[in-house]
A and B are shown apart, each in its own frame.
Chain A
Amino acid sequence: MPQPRSSPEAQLGLPEYRGHSPAEKIAFAALVSFIVAALLGLFGDGPLSDTKASSADGRIQVQYQRFCRRLAPQSLDITLATPPGSEAIELNIDGDYLRSVQITEVFPEPVTAMHQHTGRMRFRTDGSGRDMIVRVHLKPQRAGLLAARLSTGPPSQASTVELKQLAYP
């Protein structure tokens, strides 16, 4: 049924107003896509972001997030294979990565920690030969691509794993 014609006063703004314009629809679709992408982990934690890297011999494995955010807390879960009977194990993190992040906590606490080009942490082990899990809490200090190289073992037989993260501003 056709609606009665409205008064001239009610026509105010109507020539310009045409309901939802294509631009508005595109913007709404972009908003929904943004949220869906975030839920999937494109801007931080989520299935697309959570990943794992391992050295060729499997002695060091890292669980990390591909996508992270500058100044936002995140963590690296590092699994180290410890030789039976050994009392300590070392974890090395390359200096470039350490300059890009701020480590807020390491668990378990290392017995010694030093930083000379490479960050070196030494952890006490129980000698049982079981894997040791080290959790490093950190905050990226800059946006952009962050590359890290983590290694364990003596320099001649070091097991190395490399990872890349994208830190959003």
Chain B
Amino acid sequence: MDSVLRAAAVYLILLIIMRIAGKRTLAQITVFDFILLLIIGEATQQALLAEDFSIINSALVIATLVLLDIVLAMLKQRSKTLDRIIDDAPVVIVENGRLLRDRMDRSRIDEQDILVAARELHGLERLDQIKYAVLERSGGISIVPAGSAQST
């Protein structure tokens, strides 16, 4: 019983912390962000397993986390509000080469982040080559290059 409750509590705490931290924290944008994620993982492992290193405890913790994730996905499918609360929504941060500063500030993104994504994904060099840049729910930035076909 203890293992299941502990796993559920850690899941909930991580969900809240990651939501507060924002999308970009999980995007592994810098080496330090990556290290931070590793440290969070290590701290979480301690909380999940405590001193119990039995196989059955690991199985219980994994099963609880997976089950909670499935249940939450099902709930998100049924409730758009919950979906929005937990995963947020994609947001356009560049429109036709113009930076949308207020949205960028809210998501703690600067111009360099967008240009990095533009170079890596499409080999673009300047902002005016970007039609749309979108901060996705995953925390990644997707780029629609200027001159690409308009969707209907």
Contacts and interface: CB of A to CB of B under 8 A. Distances in A.
Interface of A: 28, 31-32, 34-35, 38-41, 43-46, 69-73, 168-169
Interface in B27-60: 51-57, 59-60
List the 3 closest pairs (A to B, CB-CB), nearest first.
Answer: A69-B54, A46-B1, A72-B52
Given A69-B52, A71-B52, A169-B55, A34 B60 contact: yes
Contacts of B66: 31
A41 B1 contact: yes
B65 to A, nearest CB: 11
A69 B53 CA distance: 9
B56 A168 contact: yes
B51 A38 contact: no
Contacts of A32: 67
Nearest to B51: A73
Q: Does more than half of chain B's interface fall in helix, strand or loop, or is it mixed?
A: helix
Contact of A43 (B5, B51, B60, B70): B60
Given A38-B60, A45-B2, A71 B67 contact: no
B4 interface: yes
A73 B67 contact: no
A45 B50 CA distance: 15
B142 interface: no
A72 B57 contact: yes
Interface of B: 1-5, 51-57, 59-60, 63-64, 66-67, 70
B54 A71 contact: yes
B51 A44 contact: no
Nearest to A43: B56
A22 B151 CA distance: 39
Contacts of A69: 52, 54, 56-57
A72 B4 contact: no
B66 to A, nearest CB: 7
B52 A38 contact: no
A51 to B, nearest CB: 14
B137 to A, nearest CB: 23
B54 A39 contact: no
Contacts of A44: 1-3, 56-57
23 contacts: A31-B66, A31-B67, A32-B67, A34-B60, A35-B4, A35-B64, A35-B67, A38-B3, A39-B5, A41-B1, A43-B60, A44-B2, A44-B3, A69-B54, A69-B57, A71-B53, A72-B51, A72-B52, A72-B54, A72-B57, A73-B52, A168-B54, A169-B56
A34 to B, nearest CB: 5
B54 A38 contact: no
A38 B1 contact: yes
Given A35-B4, A38-B1, A45-B2, A169 B54 contact: yes
Of A28, A38, A44, A69, the most chain B CB neighbours within 10 A belong to A38
Contacts of A35: 4, 60, 63-64, 67
